Structure 1
Amino acid sequence: MILATSFALLLCVLIVIYPYAIYPLILKLLPKRPVARDPAHRCSATLVFCAYNEGAAMPEKLRNIEGLKRRYPELEVLAFDDGSADDTAAQILARPDLVTLVQGGGRSGKANGMKRLAAMASGDIMIFTDANVLLDEDAIDNLMAWYADPEVGGICGTLQYLGSEDSTTASVGGLYWRLEERIKTRESCTGNVMGADGSIFSLRRTLYPDFPDTVLDDLTVSMAAVFAGKRLLKVDDVIAYERLVAARGEEFSRKVRIAARAYHTHMYLRPQLASMATVDKFKYVSRKLVRWFGGFFLILGALVAVILSALISPLLGGAAVAVLGLAILLGPKVEKGPVAAVAEIVLALIATLMGVLRAMRGQTFVTWSPAKSR
């Protein structure tokens, strides 16, 4: 009995750490697929973003767009305002020389807004970003070089987070994202990345898909390149900057929302996912499915650890129950130090699981609100 319980505990631990520690090692063993990059290659481009109550971020965003257009005067920039209650729309409308604004007239969500912008776009390449994200001034020039290879259908840039020292939540979030960027880079070297983050990615406009407003548009749109038989790459020289969410409660809610939409999107994309190449199916399961259920195996592992302790000694079992109880009660309240860092990781896994369970019950999220603590 003790041996079987020990094996179950080990299995839970391996599943929890697999997407972050074991999967990257496997990626290093896969054959590499080079890309024909040409720094002289140029094509037309449209930059798009959606905004809701981003008035505080707009001055810096507009200055960033102004700098981009000085480097790339032909750049078309389109924005969608999702019924902001602040001066977001007014600030954008004040700069018609930089941005063409589409106003939704109410809350309809990012997916709806992006589809409306895509229908207006004229560039060969669509560049997707967020209202609070700033692009490096060399980003567009570097992006064009990768599209010299006709096999490339989409490009995921590199996101660098600002403010990682503001709180433990931000610090752990920054560490997680640096790991995520390294995994994406390894995926890219072997063929395709399994989906983009909405902060900075691009797609050939002709590949833009149709989809319902309830899905996660970042994942749906970026994976269209893979489904079309093209490559979806992650590159290091197309850089964007975003400020981390510093409040634990806001980050927890954000992860629940994203996970719910991601799993809902997974269900919508299942027929196309089933048609992917075997190596891409392996990547998708490793990067997405296993990670989505990491919280379940974390909880199961904790319960198995308590059972194992009790099997070894009733006194040890009692101590394990006490430690687990204290961790549940006090862990979320600790704001600094190693305990707080562990609490952030655990809460992230639990939030992801909660989002997936909500999606399984048919719930998803269409609209969003910007975090106040970033």
Structure 2
Amino acid sequence: MILFVLAILFLLLFLYPFLVYPMILKRLPERPLATPVPGESPSFTLVFCAYNEEPALPEKLANLRALKARHPDLEILAYSDMSTDRTLEMLQAEPGLLTAVPATERLGKAWGMRQLVARARGDVIIFTDANVILEETAIDRLGDYFSDPEIGTVAGHLQYIKDGTSETADIGHQYWSLEERIKALESRTGSTMGADGSIFARRRKDYPEVPPHLLDDLTASISPLFDGYRVISAPDVIAYERLTTDSGDEYRRKRRIACRAFNTHRHLAPKLRKMGGLDRFKYVSHKWLRWMSPFFLAASAVCALLWLVSELGFAGLLIGLVAGLVAWGIWKSGHRKARKAGEILLALVATGQGILESLRGKTYQTWTPAASRNT
């Protein structure tokens, strides 16, 4: 009976950050934003890092020209991390649009962002990626939010563009839709727990030192919360990114991000413990329990199997093995829903592997863009 209870408990812990936590957020009291103050908009610097982004740059540069036409005072800085294609050449070919900062050795995105922030003159830094396209009104909306002196970080709303159909892209889209809803609910009640590097903005003042092997977007976006600012999600600051359709690319990306994210969590732990009670609750619910979800699911399955064996003996073990084989057969059958379930399981395994790599001391510093993302 204890094993059965443990199986249910671990299953509930697995489901909590995805199903229960959003329901709790809906019932928390709202903390409204201040009304934008006309004429109070700060100055902006837009920054991004690139490594071998030649296929994505024509669309990116066209987007930057449109943003610059709308906001002539916008400063744009781009860092090329020892690209081996024409990335640096293409960036340097636009001196009237942006300032290209070439690397002298490959040290990764966190290092590159630090170099760009050190050169920036804007009151607010807009962080984005080389393959992300911003709506032309995004900076107008950011100006409205940052007219509120309580706002330290604004997380934009990323919309994924699906080229064709694949289970990997579908699951990525559904997962990100859930993530955006949770960030909006967190923001409604005070602050959200950081931002994704695709699109966010924060005040330049007190930009943190980010070790090169950590997630610069999580560290930079959440750190204003430690200084008493709000970190909010903005549904009208919209950006677009193409979804990767290759399962292998996505697995490696999730594993790398999970490892870097958990290394970042350990680095930030002393400051995280000093947050207010509500923010600590949000962080544990949104971040820590989600990182642990692969282990909760595995523990639930093991406890369920052990319970079957304790209740039915060899027959229970046989039932468990048959159930596993049936599930494997359904997945290999190619049925669309089964493939989606397989993609979810692969994402969980990638996250779990990344967490274990972090605990063993592994670090990731540099990155390679997914081939399918840039086509």
Q: TM-score, normalising length from structure 1?
A: 0.96
Alignment partner of 2:100: what SS? strand
Alignment partner of 2:191: what SS? coil
1:77-116 paired onto structure 2 within 5 Å: 77-116=76-115
Please say which of residues 196-205 and 156-165 is displaced more in the overlay: 156-165
1:19-38 paired onto structure 2 within 5 Å: 19-38=17-36
Please say which of residues 122-131 and 161-170 is displaced more in the overlay: 161-170
> What is the CA deviation profile of residues 57-89 of structure 1, one whole-angstrom value per residue up to 9, with x for unaligned ones?
000000000000111111000000000011011
Alignment of 1:315 with 2:315, yes or no, is yes
Task: Say whether the 8 Å CA contact 1:164–1:174 is kept in structure 2.
Answer: no
Alignment partner of 1:373: what SS? helix
Kindly tell me: are residues 334 and 80 of structure 1, through their superposed partners in 2, closer, same or farther at Cα, counting changes over 3 Å? farther
State the partner residue of 1:226.
225
Between the two proteins, the alignment pairs up a number of residues equal to 371
CA distance in 2, matches of 1:368, 1:296: 26
Shift in Å, 1:311: 3.6
Shift in Å, 1:108: 0.8
Please say which of residues 307-316 and 178-187 is displaced more in the overlay: 307-316
Task: Say whether the 8 Å CA contact 2:169–2:243 is kept in structure 1.
Answer: yes
Which residue among 7, 10, 30 is the counterpart of 1:12?
10
1:53-68 paired onto structure 2 within 5 Å: 53-68=52-67
- List runs of 5+ in structure 1 lacking aligned partners: none
State the partner residue of 1:368.
367
CA distance in 2, matches of 1:309, 1:224: 47
State the partner residue of 1:138.
137
CA distance in 1, matches of 2:289, 2:223: 22
Kindly tell me: are residues 360 and 330 of structure 1, through their superposed partners in 2, closer, same or farther at Cα, counting changes over 3 Å? farther
CA distance in 1, matches of 2:222, 2:346: 28
Q: TM-score, normalising length from structure 2?
A: 0.96
Shift in Å, 1:5: 1.9
Structure 1 runs of 4+ aligned residues shifted over 2 Å read: 307-317, 325-331, 333-336
Alignment partner of 1:203: what SS? strand
Shift in Å, 1:307: 2.2
Q: What amino acid is aligned across from residue 154 of structure 1 in structure 2?
A: T
State the partner residue of 1:245.
244
CA distance in 2, matches of 1:47, 1:334: 47
CA distance in 2, matches of 1:109, 1:85: 14
CA distance in 1, matches of 2:138, 2:124: 13
State the partner residue of 1:167.
166
State the partner residue of 2:276.
277
Q: What amino acid is aligned across from residue 106 of structure 1 in structure 2?
A: E
Please say which of residues 107-116 and 165-174 is displaced more in the overlay: 165-174
- List runs of 5+ in structure 2 lacking aligned partners: none
Alignment of 1:324 with 2:324, yes or no, is yes
Alignment of 1:147 with 2:146, yes or no, is yes
Task: Say whether the 8 Å CA contact 1:83–1:104 is kept in structure 2.
Answer: yes
CA distance in 2, matches of 1:336, 1:107: 43
